[in-house]
């Protein structure tokens, strides 16, 4: 069974064929080139943003699990209206302003155990690629100038709308489009390059001083990193129109080749059944949730295990349940660690493990159905727990289960493996220090509790306070 994925462009679930030519074996496929729209670094990213970033992470991890090689880029939008006005408001340079939020963003990714991608190009470091793109479009007569800005003329690109399948009446009516920009010839046209304004950062180009429009940033960075057609482009569904539609128009008109083979979009996240908004009080950044005492593992668990094409209703109750599910996994790991002795292998464990891996792959191959994969995962854990109850797990079986869980966690990324921290570490001493720290905190001796945290941190041990108590792990 091959991996299949829903392609927004075709509107159906398709077999995934990187490079465009079908091969007999996954190992024969070329490297998968993947691009994900990254953050605009003007503020803290919120939990809805992280749903998309965790989906990107699940996708790339699963491709690797299946044996593909992945070359993945995620851009950083560090120049746009919001970053510019943020820097002005704080009276700092654009770079100083965005560097701060870039640092916070990467910290958040690490907290959520999101793997680093191979490339993270910044818009402000990709201006050359944008100039190249505008010049190519200009040479083809697709660009026009108004008041010093350069616009893309939609009527010159006949396939406009093929991704979002909006008909031109719907687009023209302004129903789905920002109608405030009167200076354009056609309501659908969009700015490639914006004329320089006072107080705004600008770059010298053959077509005057100015700064990039948002859409051109991604087209230019895809070209800069990959040079040709890419296999996968991901983003949230809110980016399908106009952002991704405009990326296609720019790239395909400029370079005369297919831009992307598979467009893959993650659905919205709702909080308590409605759209997140600051005024409703249901707006959460990652840090808001950590401050409330929820663990990053529970957040990751909740976001990674909902099917990416279904709306996810995020609730604090759901987070609590995620924490409880993780507790069940941790308990099983602890039970398995306690197994000693040299009894013979139980072949039922091998059969159950092989069967589980097979079913997990079937679920994930079916359009990355992680929620079904999770259900099968818990059935497997249940079978192992029952065998433990019956005393039918030998040490060799426990090791097999550990190996299986590690393989699965290379995709899910939310399991905590205490045995990984064994080498050269005195677990008893750490537990004793954690107990002392908890005692100090109860007695409000925060000097001592902070001291203990620092002692452990110096030794590479990170503490994680969760609703279910304090855990520790070795810093990666
Ligand atoms: Zn983008």
Residue 139 Cα, ligand 1 centroid: separation in angstroms?
24
Question: Which range, of 20-29, 65-74, 455-464, averages the lowest pLDDT?
Answer: 455-464
pLDDT value at residue 459: 81
Residue 243 Cα, ligand 1 centroid: separation in angstroms?
7
**Average pLDDT value over all residues in the chain:** 92
Residue 216 Cα, ligand 1 centroid: separation in angstroms?
8
Domain closes at, from 219, 244, 266: 266
230 belongs to a structural domain = yes
pLDDT value at residue 443: 85
Give CA–CA dist 428/336, Å, rounded: 18
In this predicted structure, the answer to whether residue 181 has a pLDDT above a threshold of 60 is no
Domain limits at 472? 417-476
pLDDT value at residue 369: 98
Q: What is the CATH number of the domain that holds 240?
A: 3.40.50.620
pLDDT value at residue 141: 97
In this predicted structure, the answer to whether residue 208 has a pLDDT above a threshold of 80 is yes
Q: Are strands 260-266 and 230-236 parallel, antiparallel or unpaired?
A: parallel
221 belongs to a structural domain = yes
Tokens of 452: 């203990």
147 belongs to a structural domain = yes
**For the residues 452-468, what does the mean pLDDT come to?**
83
Confidence tier at 172 by pLDDT (50, 70, 90): low
- Residues 6+ positions from 459 with CB-CB distance below 8 Å: 425
Question: Which range, of 41-50, 339-348, 368-377, 393-402, averages the lowest pLDDT?
Answer: 339-348
pLDDT value at residue 170: 61
Residue 220 Cα, ligand 1 centroid: separation in angstroms?
10
323 belongs to a structural domain = no
Residue 91 Cα, ligand 1 centroid: separation in angstroms?
27
Domain closes at, from 266, 289, 322: 266
Residue 218 Cα, ligand 1 centroid: separation in angstroms?
5
pLDDT value at residue 329: 94
pLDDT value at residue 85: 94
Residue 119 Cα, ligand 1 centroid: separation in angstroms?
14
| Alpha carbon 227 to chain centroid, angstroms | 23
Residue 191, beta-bridge partner list: 151
Confidence tier at 456 by pLDDT (50, 70, 90): confident
Tokens of 45: 């990213």
316 belongs to a structural domain = no
- Residues above pLDDT 90, as percent of the chain: 78
In this predicted structure, the answer to whether residue 173 has a pLDDT above a threshold of 60 is no
DSSP code for 240? I
206 belongs to a structural domain = yes
Residue 465 Cα, ligand 1 centroid: separation in angstroms?
36
Residue 222 Cα, ligand 1 centroid: separation in angstroms?
9
Domain count, the chain: 2
Residue 323 Cα, ligand 1 centroid: separation in angstroms?
33
Residue 35 Cα, ligand 1 centroid: separation in angstroms?
9
428 in Cβ contact with 281 (< 8 Å): no
Domain closes at, from 231, 266, 301: 266
317 belongs to a structural domain = no
**For the residues 92-97, what does the mean pLDDT come to?**
96
pLDDT value at residue 423: 55
Q: Tens of pLDDT along 413-425?
A: 999 665 554 556 6
Which phi-psi region, left, alpha or beta, contains residue 118 (left: φ > 0; alpha: ψ -120 to 50)? alpha
Residue 234 Cα, ligand 1 centroid: separation in angstroms?
9
pLDDT value at residue 178: 46
pLDDT value at residue 171: 58
> How far, CA to CA in Å, does 154 sit from each of 8, 150, 255?
21, 13, 16
Query: pTM for the complete prediction?
Result: 0.86
Residue 126 Cα, ligand 1 centroid: separation in angstroms?
14
- Residues above pLDDT 70, as percent of the chain: 93
**For the residues 94-122, what does the mean pLDDT come to?**
96
Coil vs helix vs strand at 386: helix
Residue 365 Cα, ligand 1 centroid: separation in angstroms?
26
Residue 471 Cα, ligand 1 centroid: separation in angstroms?
38
375 belongs to a structural domain = no
301 in Cβ contact with 377 (< 8 Å): no
């Amino acid at each position: 069974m091959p991996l299949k994925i829903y392609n927004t462009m075709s509107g159906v679930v398709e077999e995934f064929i990187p490079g465009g030519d079908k091969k007999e074996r996954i190992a024969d496929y070329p490297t998968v080139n993947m691009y994900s729209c990254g953050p605009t670094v003007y503020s803290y990213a919120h939990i809805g943003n992280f749903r998309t970033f965790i989906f990107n992470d699940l996708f790339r991890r699963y491709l690797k699990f299946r044996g593909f090689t992945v070359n993945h880029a995620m851009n950083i939008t560090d120049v746009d209206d919001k970053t510019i006005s943020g820097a002005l408001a704080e009276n700092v340079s654009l770079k100083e302003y965005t560097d701060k939020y870039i640092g916070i963003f990467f910290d958040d990714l690490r907290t959520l155990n999101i793997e680093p991608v191979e490339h993270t190009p910044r818009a402000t470091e990709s201006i050359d690629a944008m100039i190249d793109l505008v010049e190519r479009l200009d040479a083809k007569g697709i660009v026009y100038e108004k008041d010093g800005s350069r616009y893309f003329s939609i009527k010159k690109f006949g396939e406009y709308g093929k991704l979002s399948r909006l008909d031109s009446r719907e687009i023209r009516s302004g129903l789905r489009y920002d109608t405030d920009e009167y200076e354009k010839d056609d309501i659908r046209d969009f700015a490639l390059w914006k004329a320089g304004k006072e107080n705004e950062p600008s770059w010298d180009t053959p077509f005057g001083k100015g700064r990039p429009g948002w859409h051109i940033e991604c087209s230019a960075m895809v070209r800069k990193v990959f040079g040709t057609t890419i296999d996968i482009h991901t983003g949230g569904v809110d980016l399908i129109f106009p952002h991704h539609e405009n990326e296609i128009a720019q790239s395909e008109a400029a370079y005369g080749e297919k831009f992307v083979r598979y467009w893959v979009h993650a659905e919205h996240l709702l909080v308590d059944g409605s759209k997140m908004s600051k005024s409703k009080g249901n707006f959460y950044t990652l840090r808001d949730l950590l401050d409330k005492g929820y663990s990053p593992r529970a957040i990751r668990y909740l976001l990674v295990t909902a099917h990416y094409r279904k709306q996810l209703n995020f609730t604090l109750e759901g987070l609590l349940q995620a924490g409880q599910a993780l507790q069940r996994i941790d308990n099983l790991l602890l039970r398995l660690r306690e197994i000693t002795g040299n009894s013979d292998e139980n072949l039922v464990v091998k059969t159950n493990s092989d069967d589980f891996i097979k079913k997990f792959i079937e679920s994930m191959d079916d359009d990355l159905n992680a929620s079904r994969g999770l259900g099968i995962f818990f059935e497997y854990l249940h079978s192992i727990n029952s065998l433990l109850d019956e005393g039918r797990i030998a040490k060799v079986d426990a090791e097999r289960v550990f190996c299986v869980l590690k393989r699965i966690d290379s995709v899910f990324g939310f399991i905590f493996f205490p045995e990984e921290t064994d080498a050269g570490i005195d677990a008893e001493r750490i537990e004793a220090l954690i107990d002392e720290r908890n005692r100090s905190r109860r007695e409000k001796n925060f000097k001592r509790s902070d001291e203990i945290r620092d002692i452990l941190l110096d030794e590479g041990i990170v503490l994680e306070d969760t609703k279910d108590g304090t855990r520790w792990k070795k810093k990666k």
